[in-house]
Structure 1
Amino acid sequence: MADLRAGLIGLGAMGRHHARVLRETPGVELVAVADPGGDPFGVSGGLEVLPDVDALIGAGIDMAVVAVPTIYHEQVGLALAAAGVHTLVEKPIAATSEAGRKVAEAFESAGLVGCVGHIERFNPALQELRRRMESGELGEVYQIATRRQGPFPSRIADVGVVKDLGTHDIDLTAWVAQSTYTSVAAQTAHRSGRPHEDMVIATGRLANGVIVNHVVNWLSPMKERVTIVTGERGAFVADTGSADLTFYANGDIATEWEAISTFRGVSEGDVVRYAFPKREPLRVEHEAFRDAVLGVRHDVVTMREGLRTLEVAEAALESAARGVTVEV
């Protein structure tokens, strides 16, 4: 079988990584790249840098990766859907849920593979975490808390921290819990002089009763990417920066300290850091996209799921603006 002909639009900070991985993915050939701003990182590899999505489509591609700024996702996505090109759009699916709905419906009605680049789902620590949760190792799940903070990325100019970073945590939380958000309440702050929010603290509840909490900002000198899932048997801590997964077990040794013996909570138990294969998440994501196009398997983040994540993010922004809890 001939390799799938792939195109890439957007050769910026994320596009350069997509270019590398597309070239390294078996069964895929990168045949065309496009960016009206040129090739700042020199990743075209001898390919002509095309000016727009129409020229990319004209190169005769089977599949495409969209890594342009969020405000252009709708325009580029709709053009690719109309041309019959299977597409992976970087997250978020679009600048607004209204635009995202148009993109999702276009790919669904055309019978095309349309997916969103929520790359954290393909992080080995989170994949191992979900596998162990599915096998019942944690028992009933009570709470999921995430922390995602670090310095401001100068490449982001068209959305705030909720739609850029916060959508990672919204998607991965719903995915590991295998449940959807029913409500969200949030507080945001603008501290850096930019038009969009750069800090958010959000709480919410999922349909299965799990309560969630997200701390996200662009104003911390300390970079942190942590997901903590607490349940009846202990807590999993996934560090997606290092791809480590640690389990903190509830202890089963009774305390002899009278002052705290009446407390009906849990005690400290064993701590285990798991060993498992750690593959680059972007590579795993591209293989899932390729296999979905080939009809081999379908574990990509669908555009409908990407739309749901964006709706939750917008509900968080609405909550912060109105000072109320918003039902999703």
Structure 2
Amino acid sequence: MSSPTVNVVVCGAGAFGRNHLRIYRELQQGGQPVRLSAIVDSDASRLAALKEEFSVPAFATLAGCLEARGNGEIKIDAASVCVPTSEHEAVAAPLLEAGIDLLVEKPIAATKEQAAKLTALAQQHGRILQVGHLERFNPAVVAIRPWLNRPMFFEAHRLSIFTPRALDVDVVLDLMIHDLDIVLSITQSPVRDLHAVGLPILSGKVDIANVRIEFESGCVANFTASRVSTEKVRKLRFFQPHQYISIDYARRDLLVIDVDPKAAPNPSGLPAGLAFHKPVVQPGEPLLLEIESFLESVRTRETPRVSAQDGQAALALALDINAAIAEHAQRAGLDRF
């Protein structure tokens, strides 16, 4: 029995929204039951170019798009919300109220209150609300799940070269939140304590931050994020009983080193007592896998892999970190920097 076609609108067609457009169109052209039905973007010149490129209705406002849907001019079942974080609630709320399932780029919203409102609206209207924490779909992250055995120490580094993208939020909400979500999904433990420091460098918001978190389980995690680095680094390393595991998000690569008294020295330079493993990582583009998972949830009505509650948890922790950064800055007199 064939699946019904999911008609999708992409709201916000900037750098990342354009990737959503690309993937929906590729899936459609590949014969998948999905159709790119419309584009919403406030940039007139960009909208005109995209309308011609994708040959779909294009709207300068969400209200105009929803009006066309209400008049039967277009069909919309689901939407990707790729507008700036500060606009998430204003765009996502009317879509949920109109009965449209959503994939909202991370973070779910700008404030805890806005996130709670969107979660409540999704429940009230029986809608799918998936949050775009992309690294959950990174093949290396997917491959690590069978190896997890009570990790007790995490070290996360996410460094990027400065760009004018996403400057409506700080580096914690822009970059670090990816790693916060991954560690929260692995530890499944409440935060007991956190310490954080951060500084604005090239923007009016914090551009580099370091955080230490202790969980109720006893697990400790250190996070470093920078968007003013001279290099790109996206790595997560953690230790668990008798084992060290390293994830390279960018390379989609996984390394496992076991403490094994029977292991002999090997060509990689590891001493005796350590065994080296390279688990198989299935290839795949994370955004494609994320969108395919979203569409599957829309069809089956199953809870998304990254739920609204997951998005709320990551946002709440990120905002608590920002509060700790602000408190530290005031205590240390960092206004001079």
Query: Do the two structures share a fold, i.e. TM-score over 0.5?
Result: yes
Q: 1:23 aligns with which of 8, 22, 25?
A: 25
Offset at 1:253?
5.7
Describe the shift of the 1:39–1:148 C-alpha distance in structure 2 as closer, same or farther (beyond 3 A). farther
* Equivalent position of 2:170 in the other structure: 160
- Answer yes or no: is the 8 Å Cα contact 1:126–1:176 preserved in 2: no
Whether 1:128 and 2:128 are equivalent positions in the alignment is no
TM alignment of 1:34-49, pairs within 5 A: 34-38=40-44, 40=46, 42-44=49-51, 45-49=54-58
* Equivalent position of 2:154 in the other structure: 144
| C-alpha distance in 2 between matches for 1:28 and 1:184 | 43
- Could you give the per-residue CA deviations for residues 229-287 of structure 1, whole angstroms, max 9, x where no partner exists? 201121110001010000122241699xxxxxxxxxx9861222222211111111111
Offset at 1:296?
6.1
Aligned CA RMSD, in angstroms, stands at 2.1
* Equivalent position of 1:271 in the other structure: 276
* Equivalent position of 2:7 in the other structure: 5
* Equivalent position of 1:322 in the other structure: 327
| C-alpha distance in 2 between matches for 1:56 and 1:273 | 48
* Equivalent position of 1:172 in the other structure: 182
Aligned pairs, number: 308
* Equivalent position of 2:105 in the other structure: 90
* SS of structure 2 residue aligned to 1:153: coil
Offset at 1:225?
0.5
* SS of structure 1 residue aligned to 2:229: coil
Q: 2:217 aligns with which of 208, 211, 226?
A: 208
- Answer yes or no: is the 8 Å Cα contact 2:189–2:215 preserved in 1: yes
- Answer yes or no: is the 8 Å Cα contact 1:125–1:240 preserved in 2: yes
* SS of structure 1 residue aligned to 2:152: strand
| C-alpha distance in 1 between matches for 2:150 and 2:42 | 51
| C-alpha distance in 1 between matches for 2:113 and 2:303 | 25
Describe the shift of the 1:39–1:227 C-alpha distance in structure 2 as closer, same or farther (beyond 3 A). farther
- Answer yes or no: is the 8 Å Cα contact 1:129–1:176 preserved in 2: no
Q: 1:306 aligns with which of 301, 304, 311?
A: 311
Q: Unpaired runs of 5+ in structure 1?
A: 134-138, 256-265
Q: 2:38 aligns with which of 27, 32, 45?
A: 32
Q: 1:70 aligns with which of 47, 65, 85?
A: 85
TM alignment of 1:144-293, pairs within 5 A: 144-192=154-202, 194-252=203-261, 269-293=274-298
| C-alpha distance in 2 between matches for 1:56 and 1:131 | 44
* SS of structure 1 residue aligned to 2:250: coil
* SS of structure 2 residue aligned to 1:323: helix
- Answer yes or no: is the 8 Å Cα contact 2:128–2:301 preserved in 1: no
| C-alpha distance in 2 between matches for 1:267 and 1:91 | 44
- Answer yes or no: is the 8 Å Cα contact 1:188–1:198 preserved in 2: yes
Q: Unpaired runs of 5+ in structure 2?
A: 265-270, 330-337
Offset at 1:166?
1.2
* Range with greater deviation from structure 2 (98-107 or 43-52): 43-52
Offset at 1:129?
1.0
Describe the shift of the 1:296–1:102 C-alpha distance in structure 2 as closer, same or farther (beyond 3 A). closer
| C-alpha distance in 2 between matches for 1:151 and 1:204 | 25
* Equivalent position of 1:262 in the other structure: none
| Identical aligned residues as a percent | 28
- Could you give the per-residue CA deviations for residues 30-84 of structure 1, whole angstroms, max 9, x where no partner exists? 1111101136395441223211112233233000000001111010011101101
* Equivalent position of 2:124 in the other structure: 109
Describe the shift of the 1:254–1:60 C-alpha distance in structure 2 as closer, same or farther (beyond 3 A). closer
| C-alpha distance in 1 between matches for 2:137 and 2:210 | 25
